[in-house]
Structure 1
Amino acid sequence: MRKTEEQLVASWRAEERPQPEGWDFSDLADRMTESQVPWNLTAIYRASLADATSVLDMGTGGGEFLRSFGDALPPDTTATEGWSPNLAAAREALGPLAIEVLEYTAPDEDVDSVDMPFSSNRFDLVLNRHESFSPRELARVLAERGQFITQQVGGDEAHELEAWLGHHRELPHVNLATMRRELETAGFQVVEGAEHEGAYEFRDVAALVAYLQLVPWETPDDFTVDRYADQLLALHRETAGGPVRLTRKRFWLRAVRQ
C-alpha cells in the first residue's frame, strides 16, 4: 500500500476496541448524525406508564433508557437483558431503583425456543426497544388487556454493508407488516404503529469503523480493519474521504392482548 493508505489503515485500526457495556453512542456525537423518527418514544412510554402496575422492560441494554423513567415506574418493575456484557451495567444502573434484571433473550433465528422466566399473566405492560421477542411467550406473560409497546430496527437496515464488506446479517421478516401479523395471530390487537426510513451519516470511514465496534452483529464475524482493509480503502475512495451514509430503518407499534 502507498504510505497514505498505510496511514489511513492505521487510523482506522486505532478505532478498534471491545464492545462496551451499556448502549451509548455519545462518543460519536460529533462524528455521525442520524435521521429522527416522527414519533416520540419517550412520550409514548410515559403515557403508558401512567396506568401500569407491573412492568417488564425487555432488552434493557445498560438500563440507561429505563432509568430515565425512574419517577414514573411502579414498584413492580422488572427488566431483562440478553447481551451478557450489559448485565452488570444494567444491574448497577437499575439496582438503586430496586429493579431486578434477569438474563433472557429470544434468539433471532428461533424466538420460541426459550421460555420467558415469568409466570403467566405476570405483567400489565411490556416495553421493548430493539429486542427480539416471541409473540407466543409475550401473550402468555401479559395479563388480559395488557399492553405491549415496541420500537424495532428494520431487518434490512444498513443493507449497504453487503456491498462494502461482502456480508451483512439481514432479518427481512423484521418489519411492521410481519410483526403486526404475528402478534395478531398470537391474540393481540395492534392499535397503532408506524415506520420510518432515514439515514445515518458518518463523517468518514473512521467514524463508520468506530460505530461498527458498537454494533458487531452488523459486520462479518471475522471483521477487523486489517482483514477488511481493501474493502475499507475502496469505500474511502468511493466517498472521496468524505461522509459515508447507511440506511436507517425504525418502526414501532402498540398492541393489546385480547
Structure 2
Amino acid sequence: MNSLEYEQFYDKVGKANGWDFSKLKVVAEGVKWDFYEKVVELCKPTDLLLDVGTGGGEALLSIADCARLLVGIDLSESMVETATSNLAASNKSNVRFIRMDAGKLMFPGNFFDMVSCRHSGFNAQEVARVLTDEGVFLTQQVSESDKLNLKEAFGRGQAQGTEEGTLHNRYRTELREAGFTDILSYEYDATEYYRTPEDLIFLLKHTPIVPYFGQTDADFQILRQFVEDNRMEKGIRTNSKRFMLIAKK
C-alpha cells in the first residue's frame, strides 16, 4: 500500500476500534521487553513526553502517571477522535491528543524531554529539533520478517521482499545524521500463538500485515489452509519480530 492507502486504512481502523487489541487472545514466547514499560522506566515525573503515532491513545493513557504532560499525535483524524474519547473516559488531566503530521511537528524546539514512537513513521530531524539537549527518543518498529509464515502463505505482505534489517539500518542512519550520538539497538523474534481463527482474522483486518485482506474469497481459503498447517496445542503459530532504538542527543 502507498502512503495514502495506509492513511485511509488507519482512518478505517480508528473508526472501528482505535488501536486497542486488548481483547485478542494470543500468547507470545520470547518477547524481550514491553515498549511502554521501557518508556516509563526512562521517564521522570517532571518530563514532557511526546508520543508519535499514538493511535487510539490506549497505551499513552495507561502510562499517564509517569510524566508531567503527555501529548499524543496521529495523522489519522479518526484515531485522534478515538483517543480523545478514550481520554474523556479516563479522567486524566495531563494528557492531550492532537492531529499532526510527524514529518512537521508543530512544537517549539527543545520542548520535550522524551519522544516515543511505536510502530509508526517518524522524522529524525524533527524529533531531534523538539527534544531537549538531554532528551531521549525511543522507537519500536516492526521488522521485515514479522509474520513471515503468514506473508508467505498469502504471497503478499507488509515489507515482503525487503531485505531484513533495511528499516533498522535506515533509522539508525537517519538518527545519526540528525545529531544523535548515543544510539542503542535491541531486537527479538518471538513466537506467537493465536487461540482461534477469529483472533487471527481480527489481526489481519485491523493491521496492514496482509494488504487488503478479506476482499476476496480466496483469502479465506488461504487462511483456512494456513490455520490447518500452523495449528499447535498452544494455538495458531506465527512470529512477532521487533526492533527498538533508544537514542540520546
When the two structures are superposed, what TM-score results if normalisation uses the length of structure 2? 0.79
What's the counterpart of residue 118 of structure 2? Answer: 129
Map residues 43-192 of structure 1 onto 2, 5 A cutoff: 43-50=37-44, 52-74=46-68, 76-95=69-88, 96-106=92-102, 114-170=103-159, 172=163, 173-175=166-168, 177-192=169-184
Equivalent residue of 1:60, what SS? coil
CA shift in 2, pair 1:145/1:220, >3 Å: same
> How many residues get paired?
228
Match of 1:233 among 224, 239, 246: 224
Deviation at 1:255, TM superposition (A): 0.8
Q: Which amino acid aligns with 1:101?
A: F
Q: Does 1:23 align with 2:19?
A: yes
1:226, 1:73 → 2: CA distance?
48
Q: Give the TM-score normalised by the residue count of structure 1.
A: 0.76
Q: Note the C-alpha offset of 1:148.
A: 0.6
8 Å Cα contact 1:205/1:235 also seen in 2: no
Residues 115-154 of structure 1: CA distance to partner in whole angstroms, max 9, x if unpaired? Answer: 1222222212112222210111111222222111122222
Residue 222 of structure 2 aligns with an amino acid whose one-letter code is Q
Choose between structure 1 and 2: higher helix proportion.
2
Task: Report the AA paired with residue 121 of structure 1.
Answer: N
Match for residue 186 of structure 2?
Answer: 194
- Asked whether 1:247 is paired with 2:235, we answer no
Q: Which runs of 5+ in 1 are unaligned?
A: 1-17, 107-113
Identity, % of aligned pairs? 27
Shift of 1:227: 4.1
Over aligned residues, Cα RMSD in angstroms?
2.6
Residues 1:191 and 1:169: Cα distance change in structure 2 (over 3 Å): closer
* SS, match of residue 156 in structure 2: coil
- Which of residues 202, 218, 223 is equivalent to 2:214? 223
Between 80-89 and 56-65, the greater mean CA deviation after superposition: 80-89
Q: Deviations over 1:18-69 (max 9, x none)?
A: 733222223222xx22235223434422232216432211122221111122
Tell me, in whole angstroms, the C-alpha distance in 2 between the residues paired with 1:61 and 1:240: 31
Give ranges in structure 2 of 5+ residues lacking alignment. 1-11
Whole-angstrom CA distance in 1 between matches of 2:244 and 2:220: 37
